[in-house]
Amino acid sequence: MTSSIALSGLNAAQADLRTTSNNIANTNTYGFHASRTEFADLFTRSAYAASGTESGSGVRVHTVRQSFKQGPVNQTANTLDLALRGQGFFTISDAVSDGNLSYTRAGAFGVDSEGYLVNASGGYLQGYPTNSDGSISNELSLQRMRIPPTNGEPKATTAVDLSVNLPFGAEGAGNQDAVPPSNAFDPADDTTFAAEAAVNVWNDLGEAVPAKVFFIQVQEPTAADPSTIYEMRMEVDGEVLTTTPATAAQINFDEYGTPTTAIAPMAFSSTSWNLNLDLTDTEMSNESFEVLASTHDGERPRGLSGLEFGDDGVVWASYAGNNSISLGQLAIANFPNAQGLKQLGESSYSQTVESGAALMGQAGSDGFGKIESGALEMSNVDLTSELVNLISAQRNYQASAKALETSNSVTQTIMNIRS
């Protein structure tokens, strides 16, 4: 009996050493919560035995209890590092099924290739869908939190605004072999046009395609008629765009370089394109040919330019400097009995019958802590206390080993008497 009591002491001390060693090993683990080993004495006796003469039967591990007190919060330079100041856990779904939920205080998150917020294990951070003003649109539905890299839909270019300076005199004809040119217009033959200007044109995917506007001098000034007339052509992605009739794409300048009539937008078309060209601010002067300005109405999805988390867990993103939009609100969980949670490793837990069902809510509301972005909760292990516990557990182990040795020695003495 004495040997079994000493052996139970050894096992208890070893369990205490194991728990303490685990705490020390995880001193720098984000979101880790220290544990302590709690013991219960063993006492067995007969119903007919005198209680005053009975001694205990040893010790057993009663439970390994975790401390969920707040760990120290360290500031970082990463917006996606999140800390909870107060009660609650981040809600995580695994990569297989959104129904497999776990809970953690470790808030080191990143973005995967699809823009979802994930932890180091690939679990998806969960939240509620929100309206544009940040209010929750459906409290009964959890979703993976996602940070889209772009926002908006692409739009193909339909109108180009271009202003250029056309030179007076012979320079105004450029490399044309004659006015008008001897040959039909050919974008690859610079003797068939006076000047060219590259412009920006986007297709319906928001991708830039090569595009140019060509200026063909079809009339040069003479004593009888001092007017200078240019006719325009466009080439977009290898296709030549024209107007009907061709004279609809002409601008006429007097001897002073002033348009004789207001320059109206010109409609160009081809098999694949329909574009309006506006040359309203085009002018003539003694200066060389020059593009003065060029704009178009095509649109691309706007790229992410800013991201922030409110202390209530609402995720706000801005795209290309536009006003911030809400992408969702983090779902925070709490439990009637956090001590009953099942440890999964990696500072994560799952609910059990003992813990009770998760109570879901929003950060900053009653019973839930607030979110701090750019910060991480460190382990709540008190290293000094753990080192003291380590010494105490070692002492208890040595004492139990000595008790076992003494018990064996007494038994051996008895055996020697009988022999």
> Taken in order 140, 146, 147, 148, is the CA torsion positive or negative?
negative
**Domain 159-296: assigned CATH number:** 2.60.98.20
Tens digit of pLDDT per residue, the chain (419 long)? 567 776 776 777 788 888 888 889 999 999 999 988 877 777 776 555 556 656 767 778 888 888 889 999 999 989 999 999 999 999 999 876 567 899 999 999 999 999 999 999 899 999 999 998 888 988 888 999 999 998 888 999 999 999 999 999 889 999 999 999 999 999 999 999 999 999 999 999 999 999 999 999 999 998 888 999 999 999 999 999 988 887 788 999 999 999 998 899 999 999 999 999 999 999 999 999 999 999 999 998 888 989 999 999 999 999 987 788 999 999 999 999 999 999 998 899 999 999 999 999 999 988 899 999 999 999 999 898 888 888 887 887 777 666 666 666 666 766 677 55
Whether 332 contacts 368, CB under 8 Å? yes
DSSP secondary structure of 338-368: GGGPEEEETTEEE--TTT-S-EEE-TTSTT-
For residues 156, 161, 165 and 166, what is the CA-based torsion angle, rounded to 10 degrees?
A: 70
What is the amino acid identity at position 288?
A: S
Ordered DSSP codes for 258-302: -BSS----EEEE-SS-EEEEE-TT-EEESSPPEEEEEEE--B-PE
Of the candidates 251, 279, 288, 249, the residue with the CA atom closest to the CA atom of residue 267: 249
Q: Domain segments of the chain: what residues?
A: 2-69+382-418, 74-152+318-377, 159-296
- 329 contacts 317 by C-beta, under 8 angstroms: no
**Beta pairing, strands 274-278 & 159-167:** parallel
- CA distances to 14, 38, 89, 346, 371 from 200, rounded to whole Å, are 74, 73, 50, 51, 44
DSSP E strand stretches across 137-193:
143-144, 150-151, 159-167
Q: Is the dihedral of CA 137, 138, 144, 145 positive or negative?
A: positive
Give the residue carrying structure tokens 């069902």: 357
Sorted by sequence, the CB contacts under 8 Å of residue 182 that are 6+ apart come out as 191
Burial code of 199-230, b = ≥16 C-beta within 10 A, e = fewer? Answer: bebbbeebeebebebbbbbbebbeeeeeebbb
Residue showing tokens 């601010």: 281
| Sign, Cα dihedral of 154, 160, 163, 168 | positive
Number of DSSP helices (H) and strands (E) in the chain, helices first = 2, 32
